Amino acid sequence: MTRLALLLMTIALPVQAGEIWVTNEKDDTVSVIDADTLEVVKTYPTGERPRGITFSKDFSRVYICASDSDTVQVMDPATGAILHELPSGEDPEQFVLAPDDRHLYIANEDDAVTTVVDTESRTVVTQINVGIEPEGMAVSPDGKVAITTSETTNMAHWIDTGTHQLFANTLVDSRPRHAEFTADGAQLWVSAEIGGTITVFKAADQTELGKVRFEITGVNSDLIQPVGFKFTPDGKKAFVALGPANHVAVVDTATLAVEKYILVGRRVWHMAFSPDNAQLFTTNGVSGDVTVIDVAAEDAVKSIKVGRFPWGAAMRPTKG
Amino acid sequence: MDFTVLQRAALAVTFGVCAGAAAAQATKLEVPVLYLRQEVVLPPVLSNLDPVPEDLGIAGAEVALADVKTTGQFLGHDYALTLVSVPPGGDLAAAARAALPGAGVVLMEGAPADLLTVADLAEAQGKLLFNVASGAAALRSQDCRANLLHTMPEDAARTDALMQVLQSKQWRNLALIVGPKPEDAAYAEALRASARKFGLTLVGEKTWSFDTDLRRAATRELPPFTQDLPDHDVLLVADEADDFGRYVEHNTWLPRPIAGSEGLEGLGWTPVLEQWGAVQLQQRFEKVAHRNMQSRDYAAWAAMRAIGEAVTRTGSADPATLRAYMLSDAFQLDGFKGRALTFRHWNGQLRQPIAVANARALVTLAPVEGFLHQRNETDSLGMDEPESQCTAFGG
């Protein structure tokens, strides 16, 4: 009976294989990790200083911000071949692919602009002036609002994607790094690295709903620096990378309280879920590795050596 | 120097409609900032390889001005920077009296006595002044003034940072060469005090008194000059005018690393900083100034950015409001050095990490891991609250 149940479960829930792609900022490569074996299976060369990375909806293309090459590279994930390059504006750092699977919104760190690129016609649609050192990029699930955060101006800039005009600029704490809408589009979360907080906005009227604050025993508060974060698929929790504090915080999205801190590698930046969302992979810039977190247990289970200064992470399912 | 340097940093950008929490205000808030400089005649030095830039300091303020103007455009805040530069021997007090009524906040360059002269003027009361150039201890202690904050690190913070690195490497026996100038003696005293603070031993000391031309004679003069020093792990050099120090390294009797004013240095800023977004700041700086950013540039940048941060968060240009905010727990400045910068509430010194670096690379950004402090690890660098005799801040 037990054996039958197990067999049925295996049939009902086929293991979804996949890969985690990691950009290595100071090696000019991407490392491809097999999400099952937890080994690096391939390393592909990229342009200079690769940071932001994201896949097209059908996972047939991977977009890579090659910051110091001033371009976004489009790679064939099956072969690692660079298919072509997109005009990106100067020093592209992070970007987000719109729900239309066609428009990339790119933060140009050195130019104080957000560049909108049409990935089909491979042209720049427009450039939008924002604050100094734009970095974090997000787009609402309905595609109507894009967000750029500016590190030195300390704002989230709200862009109407229909008109490409800013319609709101909201202050956050020092050095905003990353922005994400909740899956229902109701909230925008913005992390502030030096401020040490995440500000949560009500997307409908851009008012502040609250802040997530962090505290780790034995770690000086000014070293707790939230950068990248991800929501669990059920939306109940957020995993937040805390930079040089070397921990990932687990946040209850309803109460904004931190439930747990998970020790990971040094200077944790960004993260990606495995295809079944059972594991979370964090890039650790200074230690040059990726930590694998068991999402249910909220514990680190393995470190995987990648290239120098891993930065961005993105998931690609390979079958199932 | 004239005002054209300010115009090259002017931003010509137009922004979309602003709304929401950061709505453009109907009336613009004007934030006039004065940069007041007492020019000095620099002493002659042996080498002309590294001339002191004419816009040292002011270029940092210009870069920060562009930053805060951009933020201000979203908020209806308009910043302006005016430079008043007093020639050597000029009447600083008269120039300050004339210029102070036009600005609420002032960035100042000058000797400690010059700073105090201006801070004590009747016209400076109710204003907020920033020392962006002097590391003198007295300004943070018995000579402190309530209207004078400091963004330049004190000398002791730089020497403490260096000694933390030497102690953590267990390079504990030090020898010292002191230059002939008063600032060399002051820096040497800071080195001695920091060595004591972190448990290092000064095994020998010599005063540099040569007047030979070292460009020709370094290899001949320095080996015998350093030969009679007791054996040491590191040779410290106190040469704050950048006169003879460059000729010491690799010309010593014993093969020893050089530190202090030369070799491994404690610095408020250095172009070899790469992490923490420092490269972005330096690229913005180079676009404006066409040279590397130095410590005084950084101090002026930090002062201007502190003003911008306080104006942004309080919506006020009133110096008393800005001062109260800067000294509060709410204030934090992103200084591209990996930690939020704050002001020490007992003497107005900007609390900041110190780079310990050589000419080619950063060795460590102090505070060095393991040097603890009950309030903030960065307070292991420089004058701590019990050591400061400053009472003007209510301490």
pLDDT tens sequence across B121-174: 999 999 999 999 999 999 999 999 999 999 999 999 999 999 999 999 999 999
Q: Which of B74, B304, B352 to mutate to test the interface with A (most CBs of A within 10 A)?
A: B74
Local structure of residue A204 (DSSP, 8 states): T
Residue A91 pLDDT grade (very low, low, confident, very high; cuts 50, 70, 90): confident
Q: Are residues B98 and B186 in the same domain?
A: no
Residues of the domain holding B202: 156-265
Q: Return the SS3 of B8.
A: coil
CA distances B346 to A39, B133, B137, B144, Å, are 53, 20, 14, 10
Q: Which of A166, A175, A222 sits opposite B18 (nearest CB)?
A: A166
pLDDT of residue A320: 52
Q: Which of A132, A151, A171 sits opposite B312 (nearest CB)?
A: A171
Residue A13 in this model has a pLDDT that exceeds 60? no
Q: Are residues B23 and B118 in the same domain?
A: yes
Measured between CA atoms, how close is A227 to chain B, in angstroms?
12
Residue B7 in this model has a pLDDT that exceeds 90? no
Q: How many CB atoms lie within 10 A of CB A257?
A: 11
Pairing mode of beta strands A176-181, A187-192: antiparallel
Residues 6 or more apart whose CB falls under 8 angstroms from that of A62 comprise A21, A30, A53, A54, A55, A56, A74, A75, A76, A77, A314, A316
Pairing mode of beta strands B265-267, B354-357: antiparallel
What share of chain B has pLDDT > 90, as a percent? Answer: 78
Higher pLDDT, A111 or B270: B270
Q: What is the largest CA-CA distance in chain A?
A: 65
Q: Is B385 inside any structural domain? A: no
Sheet with A145-150: list strands edge to edge. Answer: A134-139, A145-150, A155-160, A165-171
Name which of B308, B363, B372 is nearest B334 in CA terms. Answer: B308
The angle, 0 to 180 degrees and rounded to 10, between the axes of the packed helices B278-289 and B295-314 is 110
Q: Which residues of A touch B371 (CB under 8 A)?
A: none
CA distances B34 to A189, B66, B97, B373, Å, are 38, 15, 12, 36
Q: Which two tokens stand for residue B220?
A: 């001949």
Q: Which two tokens stand for residue A286?
A: 């200074």
Local structure of residue B175 (DSSP, 8 states): E
Q: What is the pLDDT of residues B300-329, one digit of tens each?
A: 999 999 999 999 999 999 999 999 999 999
CATH number of domain containing B215: 3.40.50.2300
Q: Which two tokens stand for residue A212?
A: 């997530």
Q: Which residues of B touch A112 (CB under 8 A)?
A: 13, 70
Q: How far apart are CA B147 and CA B262, in angstroms?
A: 34
CA distances B290 to A68, B55, B342, Å, are 20, 11, 29
Q: Which residues of B touch A154 (CB under 8 A)?
A: 71, 309, 312, 334
Residue A5 in this model has a pLDDT that exceeds 70? no
Q: Are residues B147 and B165 in the same domain?
A: no
Q: What is the mean pLDDT of chain B?
A: 90
Residue A3 pLDDT grade (very low, low, confident, very high; cuts 50, 70, 90): low
Q: How far apart are CA B337 and CA B279, in angstroms?
A: 11
Q: How far apart are CA B270 and CA B177, in angstroms?
A: 23
pLDDT of residue A45: 97
- Number of Cα atoms under 13 Å in the Cβ half of residue A117: 28
Q: Is B360 inside any structural domain? A: no
Whether A268 and A241 have beta carbons less than 8 Å apart is answered as yes
Residue B24 in this model has a pLDDT that exceeds 60? no
Q: Is B373 inside any structural domain? A: no
Q: Which residues of A touch B339 (CB under 8 A)?
A: 194, 222-223
pLDDT of residue B141: 96
Pairing mode of beta strands B173-178, B128-131: unpaired
Q: From B238, B265, B292, give the residue that closes a domain.
A: B265
CA distances B189 to B75, B154, B176, B192, Å, are 47, 13, 11, 5
When pLDDT is averaged across residues B331-344 and rounded to a whole number, the result is: 94
Q: Is B358 inside any structural domain? A: no
DSSP-assigned letters across all residues of B90-118: S-HHHHHHHHGGG-SEEEEES-HHHHHHH
Q: How many CB atoms lie within 10 A of CB A17?
A: 16
Q: How far apart are CA A62 and CA B98, in angstroms?
A: 62
Q: How far apart are CA B214 and CA B48, in angstroms?
A: 13
- Its pTM stands at 0.87
What share of chain A has pLDDT > 90, as a percent? Answer: 88
Whether A137 and A181 have beta carbons less than 8 Å apart is answered as no
DSSP bridge partners of B365: B355
Domains and CATH numbers, chain A: 18-317 (2.130.10.10)
Whether B377 and B369 have beta carbons less than 8 Å apart is answered as no
pLDDT of residue B23: 44
Whether A255 and A233 have beta carbons less than 8 Å apart is answered as no
When pLDDT is averaged across residues B109-125 and rounded to a whole number, the result is: 96
Q: Are residues B17 and B71 in the same domain?
A: yes
DSSP bridge partners of A178: A191
Residue B262 pLDDT grade (very low, low, confident, very high; cuts 50, 70, 90): very high
Q: Are residues B9 and B142 in the same domain?
A: yes
Q: Which of A132, A167, A193 sits opposite B19 (nearest CB)?
A: A167
Q: Are residues B185 and B211 in the same domain?
A: yes
Q: Is B389 inside any structural domain? A: no
Residue A127 in this model has a pLDDT that exceeds 90? yes
pLDDT of residue B8: 38
Q: How far apart are CA B141 and CA A301, in angstroms?
A: 52
Contact B20 A206 (CB under 8 A): yes
| Domains of chain B: total | 2
Q: Are residues B184 and B256 in the same domain?
A: yes
When pLDDT is averaged across residues A33-42 and rounded to a whole number, the result is: 97
Q: How far apart are CA B339 and CA A27, in angstroms?
A: 26
Name which of B336, B146, B110 is nearest A174 in CA terms. Answer: B336
Q: What is the mean pLDDT of chain A?
A: 93
Q: Are residues B190 and B339 in the same domain?
A: no
pLDDT of residue B41: 84
Q: Return the SS3 of A81.
A: coil
Q: How far apart are CA A279 and CA B331, in angstroms?
A: 38
Measured between CA atoms, how close is B333 to chain A, in angstroms?
7
Pairing mode of beta strands A289-294, A279-284: antiparallel
| ipTM for the whole complex | 0.80
Q: Are residues B231 and B116 in the same domain?
A: no
Higher pLDDT, A5 or B388: B388
Q: Return the SS3 of B132.
A: coil
pLDDT of residue B214: 66
Q: Are residues B9 and B118 in the same domain?
A: yes
The angle, 0 to 180 degrees and rounded to 10, between the axes of the packed helices B295-314 and B319-326 is 110
Q: What is the pLDDT of residues A241-288, one digit of tens each?
A: 999 999 999 999 999 999 999 999 999 999 999 999 999 999 999 999
Q: A99 preceded by cis ω (within 30°)?
A: no
Whether A185 and A140 have beta carbons less than 8 Å apart is answered as yes
pLDDT of residue B395: 55
Q: What is the pLDDT of residues A176-194, one digit of tens each?
A: 999 999 999 999 999 999 9
Q: Which residues of A touch B70 (CB under 8 A)?
A: 112, 131-132, 152-153
Q: Are residues B118 and B13 in the same domain?
A: yes
Contact A222 B277 (CB under 8 A): no
Whether A199 and A138 have beta carbons less than 8 Å apart is answered as no
Pairing mode of beta strands A123-129, A229-231: unpaired
